[in-house]
Amino acid sequence: MARTRTLLTAGAFALVTALLPTITTVGAAAADRDGPGPVAVSESRGQLTVTVPPGHGGPGYRLLIDEKTLGVRTVRAGRTVLATNPAGGFAFGDQHATSVTTWSYAAGTLRIAAASTAPADTVAVAITPTADRYDLTWSVAGAPAGAPVR
């Protein structure tokens, strides 16, 4: 019985060892189809930079986010291809987002909280980059709609 277990264990080990490169290759191919390589997020001199490398059907791009105005600029191959108003990228009524107060990058989404010109209101932005584009959603939290701004 002990000899049978040894042969089965050795056989199972040989099978797993032989299949391991195939399993790794299949996993890598699936990752290539699903989205961009590693996205980098950095902060320097009042700017957040999201870098999406080329590949996976996309040319690669960078998002440049001004931490003082929450202005967003999309750059591909060194050229700006899309940009918000540099004076204030996210406006609501006669108010707009101002400086970034916090940010985090987890599970493929950059989350930004920002102050606004309305003291009781904050702006939340979520940016999820993919190979050739990004999804951006934003909302305002604070005083109810129609409340006077002080």
Neighbour-count burial for 91-110, b at 16+ CB within 10 Å, e otherwise: ebeebbbbebeebebeeeeb
pLDDT value of position 67: 94
**pLDDT tens, the chain, 150 aa long:** 444 444 333 443 343 333 333 222 222 333 333 555 789 999 999 999 999 999 878 889 999 999 999 999 999 999 999 998 877 778 888 888 999 999 999 999 999 999 999 988 999 999 999 988 999 999 999 867 666 655
Residue 62 in contact with residue 81, Cβ under 8 Å?
Answer: no
Model's pTM, two decimal places? Answer: 0.71
